A and B are shown apart, each in its own frame.
Chain A
């Protein structure tokens, strides 16, 4: 009965590959997010969707493409992986847009070799 679940938890891949991370929330929330946390623990927002509509798109390379098939799911696809993409990616949800109370998943650690 995990509130925000993301898979896989660990990803190890070669440069140039394409990978996806999936996220699902069972909280009935309208808004979902992807955050990137680097090796220094710095958390930065990448994307946010509200009811399947993209509302935040930070200056992220267009190799990153989010997809929200419904408001309970927000997936992240990354093309042509680079070394600098190595990080922990967190999915989160909130009841409504603009809410400060985010519910985070456990993270997906991506390592690009």
Chain B
């Protein structure tokens, strides 16, 4: 079946450096993508989203890039801080489908 997956299950980054978390999706009908952050012991928290009519969207210290040609999206976090340590999920949806399909998650660890 269709799936949303991540290239790397874990990622360690030095504090202050930039990090990039990647996500591959296989459903070509997907037109809406979202990144969530889940800190230990908490529920996932919305970070940023992007629709398929865009290829880049920026937030505060975060940028999401979407490459529809290769069905890939990434989350870039600039100047990482200890509080960025968490599991990051990408999720996808498509018009007319009520539900989000979550990827398997990448654990990001910020090294002080």
Residues of chain B contacted by A55 (CB below 8 angstroms): 98
Also in contact, A92 and B43, with CB within 8 A (given A40-B104, A43-B89):
yes
* Contact, CB under 8 Å: A107 / B105: no
In the complex, chain A residues 94-112 whose Cβ is within 8 Å of any chain B Cβ: 97-98, 100-107
Chain B contact patch, size range: 20 to 34
Residue ID in chain A nearest B50 by CB atoms = A100
Interface of B is mostly: strand
In the complex, chain A residues 49-77 whose Cβ is within 8 Å of any chain B Cβ: 55-56, 58
Residues of chain B contacted by A42 (CB below 8 angstroms): 102, 104-105
A-B contacts, 14 listed (Cβ < 8 Å): A4-B43, A43-B44, A56-B98, A58-B99, A98-B98, A100-B32, A100-B46, A100-B49, A101-B34, A101-B46, A102-B46, A104-B45, A107-B42, A107-B43
Binding site for A on B (CB under 8 A): 32, 34, 38, 41-46, 49, 87, 89, 91, 93, 98-100, 102, 104-105
